[in-house]
């Protein structure tokens, strides 16, 4: 796989950092999740696919020292904490990068950053704030203001539910259809599917007529079930699609043909890794997510810790083990 041989340490945290770790694992990286003590803390990482778990108390000097040692043999460190937390532990990026200049230090505290991993080049450290990540993702909104897309009051613009052809509508069975027919040729297909004639309607971009057009569209959509509307619009370029439940998404024909969703050994459904690489496709693990501390000993031994060192760390309550019981 593309990231085969890359070693990643992911400090246990909330959703954004685990997502980053799962993506790296899906594409072949060896990801170790460093869980915290006490081990009784409930694991909140629902994105533990392909990872192993090591329990380490970073608040103890011996635990911090152990992490620094682990970082010497690591390519990527994912930090889920606010700025200053790792620094107080003596584990900030400046310290770790001084010891391992090639380490990629990624501080991720929000999904707004997950699309562009923080990275370091030598001693050059890049910090990504959640607000800055989200702002960057909204570049289109900022740059499209001069196009007139956002000059009307909130809720009355083209892309914020003001337009009748860019909205969701309730069907007779209480479900919904999503409409996104912005381009004229798509709008024409929408009108045809609704049983209307464009020469009998106001211009598509007649803003003053939008409220009445939304009422008309809503009335028409409410007269048929979601399945009936799907049969009408399937195979057309009307940009009209059903709003599906979680249960329906994976079984949708399009997603089945694309194999867009996968099941693990516990029959849990999740999205297939993307993008789909032609030469080195991702091969996500189908095993269950790791138990907290399940791989503590084997990971430490891989990183060069001796049996005596591991025993000392355990007796000092710096690490913990969790050996899953066999199902007989």
Check if the beta carbon of residue 106 is closer than 8 Å to that of residue 38: no
93 and 177 co-located in one domain: no
205 and 95 co-located in one domain: no
Please write the tens of the pLDDT for every residue from 166-196: 999 999 999 999 999 999 999 999 999 999 9
Check if the beta carbon of residue 46 is closer than 8 Å to that of residue 280: no
Model pLDDT, residue 287? 87
Q: Is the pLDDT of residue 303 over 50?
A: yes
Q: Is the pLDDT of residue 232 over 70?
A: yes
Report the chain's terminal Cα–Cα distance, integer Å: 35
How does the average pLDDT of the chain come out, rounded?
88
Please write the tens of the pLDDT for every residue from 85-139: 999 999 999 899 999 999 999 888 766 554 444 444 444 555 556 677 778 778 8
For the chain, percent of residues with pLDDT exceeding 90: 61
109 and 168 co-located in one domain: no
Handedness of CA 302, 307, 311, 313 (dihedral sign): negative
CATH number of the domain within which 197 lies: 3.30.1540.10
Maximum CA pair distance of the chain? Answer: 85
125 and 65 co-located in one domain: yes
pLDDT class of 289 with cuts at 50, 70, 90: confident
How many domains are there within the chain? 2
Model pLDDT, residue 7? 97
Please write the tens of the pLDDT for every residue from 141-165: 888 888 888 888 999 999 999 999 9
Q: Is the pLDDT of residue 279 over 80?
A: yes
Is residue 256 assigned to a domain?
Answer: no
d(CA 45, CA 123) in angstroms, rounded, equals 31
Instruction: Please report, to the nearest 10 degrees, the dihedral formed by the alpha carbons of residues 83, 88, 89, 94 taken in order.
Output: 60
CB proximity list for 207: less than 8 A, separation 6 or greater: 152, 156, 162
Vertex 140 angle, CA 135 and 142, to 5°: 65
Please write the tens of the pLDDT for every residue from 199-212: 999 999 999 999 99
157 and 184 co-located in one domain: yes
pLDDT class of 325 with cuts at 50, 70, 90: low
Model pLDDT, residue 116? 42
Q: Which residue range is the domain that position 238 belongs to?
A: 147-243
20 and 132 co-located in one domain: yes
């Amino acid at each position: 796989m593309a990231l085969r041989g890359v070693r990643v340490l992911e400090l246990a945290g909330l959703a954004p950092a685990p997502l980053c770790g799962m993506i790296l694992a899906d594409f072949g990286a060896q990801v170790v999740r460093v869980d915290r003590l006490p081990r009784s803390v409930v694991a909140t990482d629902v994105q533990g696919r392909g990872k192993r778990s090591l329990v380490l108390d970073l608040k103890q000097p011996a635990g911090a020292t152990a992490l620094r040692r682990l970082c010497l043999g690591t390519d990527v460190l994912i930090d889920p904490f606010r700025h200053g937390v790792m620094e107080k532990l003596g584990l900030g990026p400046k310290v770790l990068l001084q010891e391992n200049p090639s380490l990629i230090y990624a501080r991720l505290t929000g999904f707004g950053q997950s699309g562009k991993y923080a990275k370091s080049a030598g001693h050059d450290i890049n910090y990504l704030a959640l607000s800055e990540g989200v702002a960057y993702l909204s570049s289109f909104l900022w740059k499209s203001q001069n196009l007139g897309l956002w000059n009307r009051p909130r809720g009355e613009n083209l892309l914020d539910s003001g337009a009748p052809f860019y909205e969701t509508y309730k069907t007779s069975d209480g479900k919904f259809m999503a409409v996104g027919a912005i381009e004229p040729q798509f709008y024409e297909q929408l009108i045809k599917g609704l049983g209307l004639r464009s020469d009998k309607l106001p211009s598509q971009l007649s803003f003053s007529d939008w409220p009445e057009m939304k009422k008309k569209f809503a009335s028409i959509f409410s007269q048929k079930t979601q399945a009936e509307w799907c049969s009408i619009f399937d195979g057309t370029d009307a940009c009209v699609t059903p709003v599906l439940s979680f249960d329906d998404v994976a079984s949708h024909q399009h997603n089945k043909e694309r194999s867009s969703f996968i099941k693990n050994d516990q029959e849990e459904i999740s999205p297939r890794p993307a993008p789909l690489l032609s030469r080195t496709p991702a091969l996500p693990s189908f095993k269950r997510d790791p138990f907290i501390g399940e791989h503590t000993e084997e990971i430490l031994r891989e990183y060069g810790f001796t049996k005596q060192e591991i025993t000392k760390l355990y007796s000092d309550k710096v690490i913990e083990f969790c050996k899953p019981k066999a199902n007989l």
